[in-house]
């Protein structure tokens, strides 16, 4: 199957290759097209929102600093000395809304601890479904964690797409609570001691803006290792 697919060792590949499409996994098996990111058009959105600003020191805890979520039409800007990574926002925001109907994640890379925590929240009924876009660096260099994320998403009905990306975006929603959270920032889903920025917005139009390009990237067709394409 080739060195690029060593992470699939021990992962059952069904005789019916189309079965992968039921899980949205066919799109991330195989070599990505070189022009993948050119298949999505540039886009922009303008918002008129109420804003607040927070600076988080090294000793500060996220839960102590951001004690309540932004209301609909509000936005919080955060500068952090990085006591926490990007994933830290997810359990905090789920506590705010009780459950994320869906969770979209875009990151260059992540680690085993955050991946495990995501599945724990999912299995506890705190996440309805989750879809991920990740960088090719993560797929090729962190194959064990990538395999863990892939297999866990497949098992639970989520989707994963690996391509040349450096975008860091989280989307969480709870329709009943009118919660449409978009978190944009500079950090990856890993613990690195660096200055990082985040913008947390509760706005359905921005949430939809990001959700649309997530879906475009998740659906882009790629070659499969056994030939053909999804």
User: Measuring CA to CA, which residue among 60, 86, 80 is closest to residue 194?
Assistant: 80
Integer CA distances (angstroms), 205 to 40, 72, 78, 93, in order = 19, 11, 21, 19
Q: What is the mean pLDDT of the chain?
A: 76
Helices (H), 131-202: 136-141, 143-156
Cβ burial 61-100 (10 Å sphere, 16+ → b, else e): ebeebbeebbeeeebbebebeebbbbbbbbbbbbebbebb
| Higher-pLDDT residue of 118, 55 | 118
- What pLDDT, in 10s, does the model give residues 42-76? 666 555 566 555 555 544 566 667 778 888 999 88
Q: What is the pTM of this model?
A: 0.73
* pLDDT > 70? residue 5: no
The residue ranges of every structural domain in the chain are: 24-39+49-56+72-219
User: Measuring CA to CA, which residue among 201, 123, 202 is closest to residue 158?
Assistant: 123
pLDDT of 79 reads 81
> 83: Cβ–Cβ under 8 A, 6 or more apart, which residues?
56, 57, 58, 59, 60, 61, 62
Q: What is the CATH number of domain 24-39+49-56+72-219?
A: 3.30.870.10
């Amino acid at each position: 199957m080739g060195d690029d697919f060593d992470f699939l060792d021990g992962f059952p590949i069904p005789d019916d290759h189309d079965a992968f499409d039921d899980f949205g996994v066919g799109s991330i098996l195989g070599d990505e097209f070189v022009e993948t990111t050119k298949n999505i058009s540039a886009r922009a959105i303008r918002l008129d929102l109420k804003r607040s600003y927070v600076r988080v020191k090294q000793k500060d805890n996220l839960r102590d600093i951001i004690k309540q979520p932004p209301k609909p039409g509000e936005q919080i800007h955060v500068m952090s000395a990085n006591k926490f990574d990007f994933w830290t926002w997810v359990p905090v925001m789920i506590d705010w809304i009780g459950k994320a109907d869906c969770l979209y994640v875009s990151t260059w890379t992540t680690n085993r601890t955050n991946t495990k925590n995501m599945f724990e929240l999912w299995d506890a009924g705190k996440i309805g479904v989750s879809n991920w876009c990740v960088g090719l660096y993560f797929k090729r260099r962190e194959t064990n964690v990538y395999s863990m994320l892939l297999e866990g998403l497949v098992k639970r009905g989520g989707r994963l797409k690996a391509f040349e990306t450096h975008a860091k975006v989280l989307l969480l929603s709870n329709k009943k609570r009118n919660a449409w959270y978009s978190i944009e920032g500079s950090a990856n889903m890993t613990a690195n001691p660096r200055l990082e920025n985040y913008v947390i917005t509760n706005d359905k139009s921005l949430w939809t803006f990001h959700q649309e390009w997530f879906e475009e990237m998740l659906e882009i067709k790629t070659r499969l290792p056994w030939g053909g394409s999804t």
